[in-house]
């Protein structure tokens, strides 16, 4: 299966965000809320490498994402692990500042 890369140089920020928001729609409401919050509140602050990692992360299955993002289990991939830790930290800080 050939998957189209989630971003390209020609893709506008608005189009990328729309595609990311669509990719964040999952089968689990809690996961939808968490991932959409990342796109809306954190994605633009991530480094290009972290943005690529987040796009790869969205290709993982719901059960793994849920466990990783809620710190129930650590991902084996060190890039995923670091990104999940940053997402948790940033989302806690964002929610405290509301």
Mean pLDDT within 40-47: 94
Q: What secondary structure, in 3-state letters, does 8-66 show?
A: CCCCCHHHHHHHHHHHCCCCCHHHHHHHHHHHHHCHHHCCHHHHHHHHHHCCCCHHHHH
What pLDDT was estimated at residue 22? 95
In this predicted structure, the answer to whether residue 71 has a pLDDT above a threshold of 80 is yes
Mean pLDDT within 6-21: 79
Report CA dihedral (50, 62, 21, 51) to the nearest 10 degrees. Answer: 10
Please give the C-alpha separations between residue 86 and each of 24, 52, 79, in angstroms, as whole numbers: 18, 14, 11
- Kindly report the pTM of this predicted structure: 0.83
CATH superfamily ID and name for 13-96: Flavinator of succinate dehydrogenase (1.10.150.250)
Q: Residue 8: which pLDDT band, with cuts at 50, 70 and 90?
A: low
CB atoms within 10 A of CB 66: 16
Domain residue ranges in the chain: 13-96
Cβ atoms of 69 and 87 within 8 Å: the answer is: yes
The encoded tokens of residue 83 equal 């990104």
């Amino acid at each position: 299966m050939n998957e189209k890369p989630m971003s390209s140089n020609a893709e506008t920020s608005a189009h990328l965000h729309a595609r990311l928001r669509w990719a964040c729609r999952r089968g689990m409401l809690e996961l939808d809320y968490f991932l959409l919050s990342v796109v809306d509140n954190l994605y633009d602050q991530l480094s290009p490498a972290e943005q690529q990692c987040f796009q790869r992360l969205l290709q993982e299955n719901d059960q793994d994402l849920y466990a990783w993002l809620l710190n129930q289990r650590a991902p084996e991939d060190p890039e995923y692990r670091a990104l999940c830790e940053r997402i948790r930290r940033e989302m806690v800080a964002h929610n405290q500042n509301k």
